[in-house]
Homo-oligomer: A and B are copies of this chain.
Amino acid sequence: MNKELWALKGNLVWAEKAGEMSMLPGGYILMEGEEIKGVCDKLPEDYADARVEDYGDSIITPSFSDMHLHAPQYPMMGMAMDLQLLEWLQNYAFPMEANYAREDFARLTYKKLAKELISRGTTRVCIFSSLHRKATNILMDELEAAGITGYAGKVNMDRNGGVNLQETTEESARETRLWLEENKDRKLVKPMLTPRFIPSCTDELMEELGKIAKENPDLPTQSHLSENLEEIEWVKQLHPDCTHYYQAYEKYGLWKDGTVMAHCVYCDEKERKAMKDAGVWAIHCPDSNTNIASGIAPIRIMLQEGIKVAMGSDVAGGAKLSMPEAATDAVRVSRLRWLFSGKKEDFLTVADVLYLITGAGQEYFGAKPGFGAGDKLHAVVLDDSDLAYNPFITLDRRLERIFYQFSPACVKAVYSVGVKRI
């Protein structure tokens, strides 16, 4: 079957690497069905009769990837921001998550969350659900219905969750296996192994999860790492044989290529080297790290060391659902880190964070950063015509201004897997 040739037109901006912004003003993305054939500044002959979706002076970038967020915490986004991680979890996050035993509550929340994500240009996620299998399936359904792709995880937690948010070790392993079986044919939102974090999982459960990972070699893992000093101390007490937090994942076979670790605020040189050697991804969540007073992650250093870094909103430790807001927050906190390092440790620029919220996620999900030939189209069209009149502005600064002033009103169109969803 011949697929339709068509094209998108606009000011193309993308980043193939951190710090390298590429621009093609008035450029075309050449399409064949859902697939990108290439980008160019003039339509080639075989596209002479092709339909062109012309976005005029708008900016087109790859769509955004939110590589760490907690779906069930969405109703408490921006709440209890005067607490620290562990008390915030116990008093707010865990009681909220307990409500997802109710499927109607899950359906209502996840439908809205999916709609808000896609309307902000997010088409790829690595997302935590709660421990509830059925609610997790509802989350996956709702994400797919909205056009969002990626990985979702039924959370595993058999200790320290409180009365209403805990499963036995056996339940946790059994429900996870059942959940994997139920979702083995999904194409858009696939399952991801999700031990909440070390203090939530007994050694026995971690052993079981290690087995499950071994039985399912393509099943990736997501969790939390070295977010907060008290948390790190707790992990040391729980695993006195581990000098470093990461080893508590490593010893169960979960520290490997494609593993996604949120935060990494306090990863020292050895832990960072272990990330690089294993191919583990660090997910930077600056708003969350500021809100619950975890700290400022050493992202510039990680990038210099060649560690794979992407970004997450970390809703609801983070209080902003839009990845451009996460991006500018990454610049902001890096400015403070730069200042407090005596201006020794360089800060992040918009060209860095453009990569972190677009190209990095593309790479994680096996696409080329940017608009790579052969990849399915994931793109967002950004419109600044409602921002203040400024005739003195260059294309790169236009993108910066849109990111800093981002709201869903800036999003003119969103394409996911080649299909226009907004």
Contacts and interface: CB of A to CB of B under 8 A. Distances in A.
A388 B113 contact: yes
B397 A332 contact: no
Given A79-B397, A405-B77, A293 B388 contact: no
A390 interface: yes
Contacts of A295: 336, 339
A401 interface: yes
A347 B293 contact: yes
Interface string A276-298: 00000000000100111111100
Nearest to A348: B82
A291 B333 CA distance: 9
A77 B404 contact: yes
Interface string A392-416: 1100010011111101000000000
A55 interface: no
Interface in A87-146: 95-96, 99, 105, 108-109, 112-113
A301 interface: no
Interface residues on A, range: 35 or more
A82 B331 contact: yes
Given A293-B339, A328-B319, A392-B96, A405 B75 contact: no
A401 B388 CA distance: 28
Interface string A294-331: 11100000000000000000000001000000001001
A293 to B, nearest CB: 4
Nearest to A73: B388
Contacts of A340: 340
> Main SS of the interface on chain A?
helix
A244 to B, nearest CB: 22
B82 A350 contact: yes
B407 A336 contact: no
A109 B388 contact: yes
A236 interface: no
Contact of A290 (B113, B319, B335): B335
Nearest to A95: B392
Nearest to A390: B75
A296 B336 CA distance: 9
A80 interface: yes
Contacts of A294: 339
Contacts of A336: 290, 293, 295-296, 333, 336
Given A82-B350, A388-B77, A291 B332 contact: yes
A338 interface: yes
Given A293-B338, A293-B347, A332-B291, A404 B78 contact: yes
Given A74-B388, A347-B293, A388-B74, A401 B79 contact: yes
A393 B77 contact: no
The 9 closest A-B pairs by CB, nearest first: A78-B404, A75-B390, A319-B404, A293-B335, A75-B388, A78-B401, A290-B332, A293-B339, A78-B405
Given A75-B392, A77-B405, A81-B328, 18 more contacts: A76-B390, A77-B401, A78-B402, A79-B404, A80-B397, A82-B331, A82-B349, A82-B350, A108-B389, A109-B388, A112-B388, A112-B389, A290-B332, A293-B336, A293-B338, A319-B328, A319-B404, A333-B336
